Structure formats: structure tokens, C-alpha cells
Structure 1
């Protein structure tokens, strides 16, 4: 068993998951350092009054900059750190080494379930498979640098994708970006990912390394997911299919890199494979196992975020 951590650092708290990880770590009694490139920026997941009343401290740091990262770790004294994927040429190796040298012993990394598809070893994943490859390189770096404790969070398909990526609210009526309506997704919520992330950031892994796959409680087709969105929000949304070319064009306009778009398009066609179904059935209970709370159903997630959809 790893030690319990009462002083932790969260990189990227302005992101949906990072801020919620910080909240959960604070709820579990830890001092939480909020590592940010710009310490004046608002943190959407942490209301100002909650941040003021909780045990939070903002600290400047940039995960792409080993020097600032090392300084933040040294100043905070945190030994357990949450981080996300940063696209640097060395896949954050220099930053990770700086973290280890400054005293971090436990890393919680927001990775991806795509690493496990096909059962390939980390080093056998092709660079052509952009999403699993990038996450795998960070996991390899963490292992090779030799952190005593390492937790890899590998969530499935984010429920937030529907609004953040697959929705054109500039169209009239608003347009759902659907290329494969019968693809089946688990729709895990950022809140549930963060519950587990905050828990293991404080409590530590059960062994030296722990890999935790995280999925939503239901597997829904994309068509059924959009039907739920329309019913819960009451919005008139065009759910006719778009071509892969149009999907690519609109996601590119949202600054999503083409290799990631290509990987997502290919993945839509593989969501019903027996391998993925078996993996899902094996790990669907992990949110409750690690957080102590049942995972959120997709309809409940949309209801909780209805204000975003109707704004």
C-alpha cells in the first residue's frame, strides 16, 4: 500500500476534470495546490467562495516547462501530482523528470482507454494511432523515470464530447455532428472521472502501479444519446447524418488536430467489438469501487448541464 497524501498538486485545474479532481481531493481532507500557467484565470469547477473557504493555493506552473514545474513542486512540497497529456516533443519526459527530482513520488495521469484496445503492449502501439500512442508514451516515461507510485486513469468516451466537440450551435437549427449513429459509447462524465482521480490522488494506489479503466454505467448508441439530449434539453437539434468530410471540417474549426479526428472517425466503427464489450463489462464498476459513489447516467448528466445546452 502507498502512503496517504495530505498535500497534493493538481496541474490544469481550469480544465473540466482538473478542477473537479482538486475539489474531490480537498473534500477528502488534502491541501490542494492549483498549478496554473496563469494564476489569475477563473477556475470554472471551483466557485470563488469554495476556493476561498477550502484549503487551496494557486501556484504558477506550466507542464510544458520543466523549470516552472520543478519550482512549483519544490515550493508546494507536494508528493502526489495529478497531470494530463501535454503534447511536447518528448511527451513530457523532461517535465516528469523534473517532478521526480523535486520530490514527487506518486503520479496520477489522465490517460485513455484506447491504450488497451487490441491488448497491445505500450511500446507496440503505432504512432499512426495518435490518441493511444501519445498517452502510451507518457505512461512509458512515467514508468522509466521510476516514480514509486503511479496511477493511470483510462476513461472511455467522454459524455462532454457531445456538447464540446460534436455540436454545431451556429447552425439553424443547431446541428449534431453524427457520422455513425449506431456506434455504441459509454459516455462517462468528467465528474465521475474526477471523483476517482481525486480519490486516488489522496489515497494512493493499492500497489506500486495501478491502471484504472473508467466507463459510464450504460452503453448507448450515438443516436439514442442524441435522442436523450433532445428530450432532456427540449432543443430542436438536427440529427441527420453528416459526411466524414464535414465532420472533419467542423472539428478542425474547433482546433482539433487532424490525426485525432481521423482516429476518432476510425474508432466509431469499432465500438461494438467483442473485445470492447468484454472490457466494459469487466471494468464498469470501477467508478463506484474507487470513489464510493455510483456513476452518473447520461440523462442525469445532460440534465445537470442543461443550462449549457439552452444558453
Structure 2
């Protein structure tokens, strides 16, 4: 049986790992808008936290009532050990950022990636005895405006090994909103929220939406073979292992495994997920593409 959690100020603070990252900083902002005492934890933040330095975990956890966990996606996963420390520290609620498809064999196109660190993190929070909620978002819409695809869009050509594959890119603001609801409201205990946007798009379609939002020229999409893409990453200084993992991570887009729409945003928030057109309008207003 999970424990109950009261998000009143007396039950603060909430510890947010990755407090300066894409979802973490948005979770921090929303919590603070609600008046919830919040610790934004990162390697260089006000609350020091480093997944690779376990000595930083206990000070960050001290007195925390709830934790938003943005895990380190490495082997072996440090999440189970962190969850053990959270339980020992008296934390009462965990909200874990996982990933879409982690429980689907072959989702990433390579059986060697089945049962990876995200799934072990899920198993750890489920068995913790604490109140828990798991978020499984697909690819972020913001990867085109502030993430890994941004440089290609700005340069006018985005080269990816995803063919005509489609994905229902999810707004990181929606992810943050669901996380905050799970951290501060009743009714989310034991829930796994699969999160996607409201429509599936190919990369060329996404670039069309960015052009509409900016009123500028459309960046071109250049499909490339997986081997060439992987070799290009290695030539840029990435290790063979990292390049292989990064290429495999794109496989769910290439195969359109990311295309089916999920209802997690509506189930958690009672409203539809935001469309990429709205996401990109906001990003254009903030000067994302110059």
C-alpha cells in the first residue's frame, strides 16, 4: 500500500532533480508559482546534486517530502540506490520521468536495449513503498527549439536517419504540468502516464510548422542511412557506443512506433495535449531560431 501525501506547505519542500533541464526547470517554475517550497537540484544549482557523486544525494534529500526524479540514463542505473536513500530520508512521494516504450521488447530496435535503466528505475519506485507516479513521454517537441535538433534547424538542414517515420512529439510544458499535478494533487498515486502530443508528424512536417511559426524559410530535411549517421557522430568525437545508442534512440521515430497517440495528458490534467504548432509559436516569440 502506498503512503498518502499532502502537498500543503507543511509537507514541503519538493526536490526536483535536473532542476535546470528541459522538464526540471519547468517543474520548478510551476511549483514555485503554486507557492510550494522547491529545491532545484543540479550539479551547479543552489542545491548541489550529481548522479555520479552519491555523496551529494543525502544533503539534497534531507527533509524533502517529495522528489521529481530525472534519471541518469546509464548502466548500471543509479536510480534504485537513490530511491533507497529517499526512503531512508523520509520522502513520501516519488514522481519518475521515464520514457515511452521502455516496457515494449524491441521498441528501440535492438534487444540489447530492452530492460534498460529506465525500466529498472520504474521497478525501484514501484517497490519503494512510497506513493509514486511514472511519466512516460515520447520525443520532446522542444528538441527542435532548444535541444539536439536545434543546430540543424538553424543551419537550414536537419539530417536524421528516420526516413518518413512519424512521431507524436510532446510538449515539455505538458510533461511538467503532469509532474506538478502528481506532486501536489490527490488521484495520481500508482499511475503510469503515457504522454504524447495530439498528432503524429514526420520531420518534414515539423519543419513546416517551424517555418509557419517563424514566418521564415523552411529548413530542409535530409534523410540519411543509419550507418552514415552513426559514422558522422563518431567523426564529431562521440564514442562508438554512444553513437550506437543515439542512433538506436531514433529508431522509434523511423519505424513510427512514436506515432500512436497517448492519453496521459488528458487523464492527468483533464485537457488535451498541446500541439506542436502552439509550442513553436511560443518558441518563435522567444527567439529560439534567431
> Shorter-chain TM-score category?
0.7 to 0.9
Q: Distance in 2 between matches of 1:104 and 1:119?
A: 34
Instruction: State the match for 1:247 in structure 2.
Output: 229
Q: Deviations over 1:12-64 (max 9, x none)?
A: 1110100101122223332111222223xxxxxxxxxxxxxxxxxx3222233
Match of 1:30 among 27, 36, 60: 36
SS in 2 for 1:310: coil
Q: Secondary structure at the match of 1:68?
A: helix
Tell me which residue corresponds to 1:288: 266
Whether the 8 Å CA contact 1:35–1:72 is kept in 2: the answer is yes
- How far does the alpha carbon of each residue in 1:211-262 deviate from its partner, in whole angstroms, 9 at most, with x for none? 1111111112222112222232213423232232343345554859224223
| Unmatched runs of 5 consecutive residues or more in structure 2 | none
Task: Give the direction of change, closer, same or farther, for the CA distance of 1:245–1:118 in structure 2 (3 Å limit).
Answer: closer
Classify 1:139/1:127 alpha carbon distance in 2 versus 1 (closer, same or farther; 3 Å).
farther
Q: Could you tell me how far apart the structure 1 residues matched to 2:273 and 2:124 are?
A: 31
- Matched position secondary structure for 1:230: helix
> Is it true that 1:16 corresponds to 2:4 in the alignment?
no
Shift of 1:3: 2.2
More helix by share: 1
- Match among 132, 151, 164 for residue 150 of structure 1: 132
Q: What residue in structure 2 maps to residue 299 of structure 1?
A: 277
Change (3 A) 1:254 1:113: farther
Aligned to 1:166: 149
RMSD (CA atoms): 3.0
Cα 1:141–1:119 shift into 2, 3 Å: same
Summarize deviations over 1:57-93 as a string: whole Å, max 9, x none: x32222333332112221xx22210011213534322
In 1, Cα distance between the equivalents of 2:288 and 2:277? Answer: 13
Task: Map 1:1-311; keep pairs closer than 5 Å.
Answer: 2-6=4-8, 7=12, 8-39=14-45, 58-74=46-62, 77-86=63-72, 87=74, 89-117=76-104, 128-129=112-113, 133-144=116-127, 146-163=128-145, 164-169=147-152, 174-203=156-185, 205-207=187-189, 209-233=190-214, 234-251=216-233, 253=236, 257-271=242-256, 277=260, 280=261, 283-284=262-263, 286-306=264-284, 307-311=286-290
- Please state whether the residue corresponding to 2:273 is helix, strand or coil: coil
Do the aligned partners of residues 250 and 232 (structure 1) sit closer, same or farther apart at CA in structure 2, a change above 3 Å counting?
farther
Tell me how far apart the structure 1 counterparts of residues 280 and 237 of structure 2 sit (CA, whole Å): 21
Gaps of 5+ in 1: 40-57, 121-125
Question: How many residues are matched?
Answer: 276
1:9–1:32: 8 Å Cα contact kept in structure 2? yes
Tell me, what secondary structure is at the counterpart of 2:135?
A: strand
Distance 1:174 1:22, change over 3 A: same
Aligned to 2:60, the other structure's residue is in SS state helix
TM-score, with structure 2 as normaliser: 0.82
Change over 3 Å in CA distance of 1:110–1:162 after alignment to 2:
same
